[in-house]
Amino acid sequence: MAASDSKTLLKSDAVYKYILETSVYPREHECMRELRLITAQHPWGTMASSPDETQFLGMLLKILNAKNTLEIGVFTGYSLLATALALPSDGQIIAIDMKREYYEIGRPIIEKAGMAHKVDFREGPALPILNELVSEENNEGNFDFAFIDADKVNYLNYHERVLKLLRIGGIIAYDNTLWGGSVVAPPDEPLSERDRELAHATRKFNKAITADPRVEVSHLSIADGLTLCRRIA
């Protein structure tokens, strides 16, 4: 597998394989493995997060002592299950996706893992659902963590809403913030229209949040780029 096909921007496939085989797969929850393998069979399977990334998110959630979380972009529920496994038994994830049919693929495995009670799945476009959450009493500042992994062109719209829901000290993790490295593609690089548009949106997003005084930012090169924003104001 060429580095460009794998779920990492690491230049060496051998090093990535080493990380997975040495530090990730031996500690992988059996239901995470099952869902990873089922998802890989799906025609859009590459949309799922990478195993090293979900391992990282799980540890981050524990360090944060996260209890109330939000996920935008669920697909088969692979990052959702990683989140559920890292939360305490009374933890909760509001999980939003336009397509329940994707979530239904992973739901039996989430149930088998004993995690279904933590998931509040909401089907529909994320923006109106977020607007509703923001308008509901008691939601403001009530969330510890959000994983944003849906339509990249809306990341800045999600940012404004999710910041209202997040407590001070809470973290928003934005996925795919390097978009396959296309953020640095020269103008004459043969990119598809969609990739060109997403590279532009991603560059705009990365600049805007770095300039946002309400958050601290850490841009990680794990997977396809993961940007952590910690709310400070």
* Residues in 93-122 that interact with ligand SAM by CB under 6 A: 96-99, 102
Minimum distance, C-beta of residue 50 to ligand SAM, in the bound complex (Å): 8
Q: Which of 8, 83, 176, 227 binds Ca ion (CB under 5 A)?
A: 176
- Residue 151 binds which entry of ligand SAM, Ca ion, none, with Cβ cut-offs from 5 to 8 Å by kind? ligand SAM
CA distance 52 to 220: 13
Q: Which long-range contacts (C-beta less than 8 Å, at least 24 apart) are formed by 193-201?
A: 197/153, 198/152, 198/153, 201/152, 201/153, 201/155
DSSP 22: I
List the one residue out of 146, 163, 210, 159 whose CA is nearest residue 183. Answer: 210
Question: Could you give the string, one character per residue 72-111, with x where binding to Ca ion holds by CB under 5 A and - elsewhere?
Answer: ----------------------------------------
When asked if residue 71 is in the footprint of Ca ion (CB under 5 A), the reply is no
CA distance 93 to 95: 6
Question: Could you give the string, one character per residue 138-157, with x where binding to Ca ion holds by CB under 5 A and - elsewhere?
Answer: -----------x--------
CA distance 25 to 172: 26
Judged by the rule CB under 6 A, the positions of this chain that interact with ligand SAM are 47-49, 73-75, 78-79, 96-99, 102, 125-126, 149-151
